[in-house]
Amino acid sequence: MSSAATVRSEPSGYFQQSAAMHPVTERTAKFGGRQRLANTPTVVSDLSLIYPEAVVASSQPLGWQNLRALEMRQTISEWTMPPLENHCIVVQLGPSVEVTARIGDENFEQSLEPGAITIVPAGLSVAWRQEDIVSHTLHLYLDPQFLRTTAESIDVDYSQVSIAPQFGIGDEHIHHIGMSLHHELKDSNVIGRLYADSLAKVLAMQLVRRYSYLNDLQTSRGGMAPRKLRKAIEFINDNLDQEETVSLSTVAEAVQMSYFHFSRAFKQSMGISPNAYMTEQRIGRAKKLLSDTDLPIADIALRAGFASQSHFTTTFRKLVWTTPKGFRNKL
């Protein structure tokens, strides 16, 4: 993507000095169908500084060191966010909402289902418009310097890392981390703080491994070249959308690599095997079909690329912690 944000090497100071002062400008935002005027910092650390009335819960008093979490309920249909000092990951808690958004210079438009993930890299602004319903979200903020330190600890060799904007994607790993952190917002004990800090590191690893491949990012131990990695991911996703079965040998051939080399290099770059990645994508497609259609579960299993309904149900239960029927009944 063209608007990847470059991580600064210097620390932002957000987690050490959350009350830092910034110059302010004025902005207007629609609120309940009317215009309201508010002072908005030109650079902020998180959205609570602009819309404090939307904050339901915050990790600020819990002593978390490397991550800030906010549970928010937005009652306004349009809102803006100036460039942030920190990377922001938004997890849609519910309900489903139709959204048109602009992140940096990229436009997005789709329905955000519960569990959908949006990633706003540090340094990019956001303009958000949604249908006129209350939006319930979890916002996770990571300091770019912490992201850089985490990347170096897993042997990523780079001078800069660029995180690309993502909108409404499915990512079971990030969703699981987000739900765990959401639970920890209700617990102020020391164990909860240590657990949250460990999850922050896992989240940072996920961002580097899964969403920085558009940059010239190389690993020091045999990862894939960015161009080939991007092509492999696009090939997998394109074929899944077309309801075709994708074999590892087919993907390896598409990127002109041997099966053995491709499998090892893909896992080194992404932190997950190509088989596991394809399974995640198939489960994501199945969840959408379960939510948006009345198709029989056996048909959904085939459309999502599973060989049988029993294989689909077993895999779905393992990753989503419920059966496909149970998932549909909760909608």
CATH number of 5-211: 2.60.120.280
pTM, rounded to two decimals: 0.58
Report the topology of domain 220-329. Answer: Arc Repressor Mutant, subunit A (1.10.10)
With a cut of 70, which residues of the chain have pLDDT below it? 1-43, 154-161, 188-190, 213-222, 241-246
Tokens 């004990």 -> residue: 189
Q: Is 99 helix (H, G, I), strand (E, B) or coil?
A: strand
- How many whole angstroms from its chain centre is CA 80? 19
Return d(Cα 190, Cα 326) in angstroms, integer.
Answer: 35
DSSP 276-310: HHHHHHHHHHHHHHHHH----HHHHHHHTT-S-HH
- Rounded to the nearest 5°, which phi and psi values hold at 159? -100, -30
Q: Is 49 helix (H, G, I), strand (E, B) or coil?
A: helix
- The closest alpha carbon to 181, from 90, 316, 290, belongs to 90
Equal CATH topology for 5-211 and 220-329: no
Do residues 159 and 126 lie in contact, with contact meaning Cβ atoms separated by under 8 Å? no
Return d(Cα 304, Cα 301) in angstroms, integer.
Answer: 5
Return d(Cα 211, Cα 308) in angstroms, integer.
Answer: 31
Q: Indicate the helix (H) or strand (E) that contains 38.
A: strand 34-41
Q: What is the pLDDT of residue 150?
A: 81
Q: What is the pLDDT of residue 21?
A: 29
- The closest alpha carbon to 113, from 327, 329, 292, belongs to 292
pLDDT, tens digit, 9 for 90 and up, residues 211-256: 775 344 444 455 787 778 888 888 888 887 554 556 788 888 888 8
Return d(Cα 138, Cα 180) in angstroms, integer.
Answer: 11
| Domain residue spans of the chain | 5-211, 220-329
Q: Is 84 helix (H, G, I), strand (E, B) or coil?
A: strand
Task: State how beta strands 87-94 and 117-120 pair.
Answer: antiparallel
Q: Indicate the helix (H) or strand (E) that contains 249.
A: helix 248-254
Q: What is the pLDDT of residue 305?
A: 82
- The closest alpha carbon to 7, from 117, 85, 68, 80, belongs to 85
Hey, what are 233's tokens?
């991911």
